């Protein structure tokens, strides 16, 4: 056979590189039920679709070339549900998948190839931080900066998983992503506890430093939390299924469509008394196509629900206030959460539907301390700069600035359930504030004033001056939204918006 010797050498080199790092580390992972980089890539991609890049790359340092197959990252392209994606999978068994010259070059190449060709990028991350001694000294850190580009201008979706100790560059890749899933037990932080213990004499437990609770409940950096690598990869695939390949395309349309069982029973899911709480997610799930609800940041700022889903097969983004938490009063964190969700949907041409059942923004000293007025305006800026089709629907009530922020009058279509109550504040509070009449002091006068104030706050009072395009029966919601979306998605830009939020900062 021609080239026998060279082929033999080629195959031996490829085999060695695919074995990754230390056999002991690989065995430890297996014992702990944690997948290695190549197993993760295999699970992510459709069978036999992986085209690897950089299999024969190694560290730039001659003395560790033998110890750095692929320089600690498995990179390339392949297909997810028959759609092309770029992938970088950290190989922690090779020097902790630490950041170094060739390691960075490989990831950057995947990233740029995705950007230039309109392909989503998936990062399966672990990272010990900057590699020692590569980043030491002025030239070391200088080299780390050369050619590095951090800004994500949302040309194509980035979906990342935090699957182990993820510091430095690995953490920053995740932060810049449009969707981040984290496996419990993994850590996302700027530096490890080893560094913090020396730098600021703080002995942090890694969970406190960057565990799943911190990032799903306090910082909101993580969009979903799972128990295993397998579930994390399933979440990445599910996320990508709602998104187009890039910002110049409309989202994919699913072909299997079924209504949820409660689609025409919404009136049984919402209490008639406006003072009673309920979980709006049951309503959202009933409106959307069956089993298409995909919550984003479910554990963070629970007053706001932000979820991807489908209506008649089309991807939509749902923004809803949830009376189950804080009575549905929008707090500062919920403004951040909604703004970042508007950015995601607008950047990738996903129409937005706002479902309002809110007593207003959560006023009070605590909210002001947490910069509520600024947060409300950031939320409003995201809303007003967005060009994606928008529908605003009031369910039971929507008061004051929150009515405007929940896209009331700002969306392409504003509508209300017949139960809608829309005003500058809750009528019961308004009587106090405007007329200084309290129910306990002048009960009869209070009742009369309440009646007067309430009569001006109905859905029909919004519909009469055509500030609402329609008043609907709750049980007709799904049909109405599907019909309106069919109109709004006919825009003569083939469903592609202006993307004025594409450079919105990655973290709020």
> At its nearest, how many Å lie between another protein and the CB of residue 403?
14
User: Which of 44-52, 126-134, 332-340, 357-365 is the region at the interface with another protein (rule: CB under 8 A)?
Assistant: 357-365
Is residue 428 part of the contact set for another protein (CB under 8 A)? yes
Is residue 325 part of the contact set for another protein (CB under 8 A)? yes
> At its nearest, how many Å lie between another protein and the CB of residue 439?
12
CA dist 427 to 166, 191, 323, 454, Å?
Answer: 51, 51, 18, 6
Is residue 64 part of the contact set for another protein (CB under 8 A)? no
| H-type alpha helices, 348-458 | 365-369, 372-385, 400-405, 427-435, 443-455
149 vs 438, beta carbon nearer another protein: 438
User: In DSSP terms, which residues pair with 75 in a beta bridge?
Assistant: 53, 88
- The answer to whether 78 and 52 are in contact (CB under 8 A) is no
Is residue 364 part of the contact set for another protein (CB under 8 A)? yes
- DSSP 3-state assignment of 318? strand
> At its nearest, how many Å lie between another protein and the CB of residue 132?
41
Q: What share of the chain is helix, strand, coil (3-state, %, to 5)?
A: 40, 20, 40
Q: Compute φ and ψ for 358, nearest 5 degrees.
A: -140, 140
Q: How many CB atoms lie within 10 A of CB 191?
A: 19
User: Which of 136-144, 150-158, 261-269, 362-370 is the region at the interface with another protein (rule: CB under 8 A)?
Assistant: 362-370
Residues from 365 through 384 that contact another protein (CB under 8 A): 366
> At its nearest, how many Å lie between another protein and the CB of residue 326?
5
- Rounded distance between C-alpha atoms, residue 457 and residue 507, angstroms: 38
> At its nearest, how many Å lie between another protein and the CB of residue 310?
29
Residues from 242 through 301 that contact another protein (CB under 8 A): 274-277
Would you give the distance in Å from CA 230 to the centre of its chain?
19
Q: How many CB atoms lie within 10 A of CB 469?
A: 17
Q: Given candidates 80, 362, 431, 485, which one binds another protein under the rule CB under 8 A? A: 362
Is residue 429 part of the contact set for another protein (CB under 8 A)? yes
User: Which of 63-71, 323-331, 348-356, 480-488 is the region at the interface with another protein (rule: CB under 8 A)?
Assistant: 323-331
252 vs 323, beta carbon nearer another protein: 323
> At its nearest, how many Å lie between another protein and the CB of residue 97?
37
Is residue 426 part of the contact set for another protein (CB under 8 A)? yes
Query: SS in 3 state form for 246-315?
Result: CCCCCCCECCCCCECCCCCCHHHCCCCCCCCCCCHHHHHHHHCECCCCEEECCCCCCCEEEEEEEECCEE
> At its nearest, how many Å lie between another protein and the CB of residue 182?
21
155 vs 357, beta carbon nearer another protein: 357
Contact residues for 156 (Cβ-Cβ < 8 A; gap 6+) = 114, 115, 118, 119, 120, 121, 245, 246, 247
Is residue 220 part of the contact set for another protein (CB under 8 A)? no
- Rounded distance between C-alpha atoms, residue 236 and residue 253, angstroms: 18
Is residue 329 part of the contact set for another protein (CB under 8 A)? yes
Residues from 14 through 43 that contact another protein (CB under 8 A): none
- Rounded distance between C-alpha atoms, residue 213 and residue 11, angstroms: 45
Is residue 464 part of the contact set for another protein (CB under 8 A)? no
21's tokens: 């790092």
Omega of the bond leading into 133 within 30 degrees of 0 (cis):
yes
54 vs 323, beta carbon nearer another protein: 323
309 vs 359, beta carbon nearer another protein: 359
115 vs 281, beta carbon nearer another protein: 281
User: Which of 115-123, 424-432, 446-454, 481-489 is the region at the interface with another protein (rule: CB under 8 A)?
Assistant: 424-432
Residue with tokens 């500030």: 467
Q: Given candidates 72, 309, 323, 474, which one binds another protein under the rule CB under 8 A? A: 323
By rule CB under 8 A, what count of residues binds another protein?
A: 18
Is residue 360 part of the contact set for another protein (CB under 8 A)? yes
Residues that bind another protein (CB under 8 A): 274-277, 323, 325-329, 359-360, 362, 364, 366, 426, 428-429
């Amino acid at each position: 056979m021609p080239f026998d010797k060279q082929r033999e050498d080629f195959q031996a080199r490829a085999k060695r590189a695919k074995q990754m790092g230390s056999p002991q580390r690989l065995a430890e992972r297996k014992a702990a039920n944690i997948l290695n980089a190549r197993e993760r890539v295999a699970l992510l991609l459709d069978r036999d679709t992986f085209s690897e890049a950089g299999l024969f790359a190694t560290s730039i340092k001659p003395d560790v070339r033998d110890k750095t197959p692929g320089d600690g990252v498995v990179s390339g392209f392949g297909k997810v549900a028959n759609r092309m994606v770029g992938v970088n999978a950290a190989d922690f068994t090779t020097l902790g998948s630490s950041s170094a010259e060739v390691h960075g070059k490989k990831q950057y190449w995947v990233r740029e190839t995705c950007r230039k060709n309109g392909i989503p990028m998936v990062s399966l991350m672990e990272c010990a931080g900057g590699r020692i001694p590569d980043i030491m000294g002025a030239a070391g850190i200088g080299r780390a900066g050369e050619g590095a580009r951090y800004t994500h201008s949302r040309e194509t979706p980035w979906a990342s998983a935090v699957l182990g100790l993820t510091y430095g560059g690995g953490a920053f890749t995740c932060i810049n992503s449009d969707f981040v899933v984290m496996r419990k037990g993994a850590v996302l932080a700027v530096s490890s506890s080893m560094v913090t213990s020396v730098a600021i004499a703080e002995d942090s437990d890694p969970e406190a430093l960057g565990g799943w609770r911190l990032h799903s409940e306090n910082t909101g950096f993580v969009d979903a939390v799972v128990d295993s690598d397998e579930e994390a990869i399933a979440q990445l695939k599910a996320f990508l299924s709602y998104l187009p390949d890039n910002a110049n395309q409309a989202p994919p349309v699913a072909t299997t469509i079924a209504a949820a069982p409660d689609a025409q029973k919404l009136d049984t899911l919402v209490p008639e008394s406006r003072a009673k709480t309920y979980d709006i997610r049951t309503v959202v799930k009933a409106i959307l196509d069956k089993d298409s609800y995909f919550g984003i940041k479910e554990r963070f700022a629970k007053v706001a629900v932000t979820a991807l889903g489908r209506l008649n097969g089309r991807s939509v983004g749902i923004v809803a206030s949830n009376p189950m938490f804080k009575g549905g009063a929008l707090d500062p964190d919920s403004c951040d959460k909604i703004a970042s969700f508007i950015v995601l949907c607008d950047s990738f041409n996903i129409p937005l539907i706002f479902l309002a059942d809110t007593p207003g923004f959560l006023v009070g000293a605590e909210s002001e301390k947490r910069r509520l007025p600024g947060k409300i305006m950031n939320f409003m800026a995201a809303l007003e700069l967005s060009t994606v089709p928008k529908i605003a629907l009031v369910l039971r009530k929507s008061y004051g600035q929150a009515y405007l922020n929940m896209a009331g009058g700002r969306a392409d279509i504003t509508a209300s359930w017949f139960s809608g109550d829309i005003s500058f504040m809750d009528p019961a509070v308004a009587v106090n504030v405007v007329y200084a009449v309290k129910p306990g002091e002048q009960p009869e006068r209070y009742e009369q004033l309440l009646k007067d104030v309430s009569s001006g706050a109905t859905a029909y009072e919004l519909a009469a001056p055509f500030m609402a395009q329609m008043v609907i029966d709750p049980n007709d919601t799904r049909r109405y939204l599907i019909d309106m979306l069919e109109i709004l998605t006919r825009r003569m830009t083939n469903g592609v918006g202006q993307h004025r939020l594409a450079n919105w900062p990655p973290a709020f």
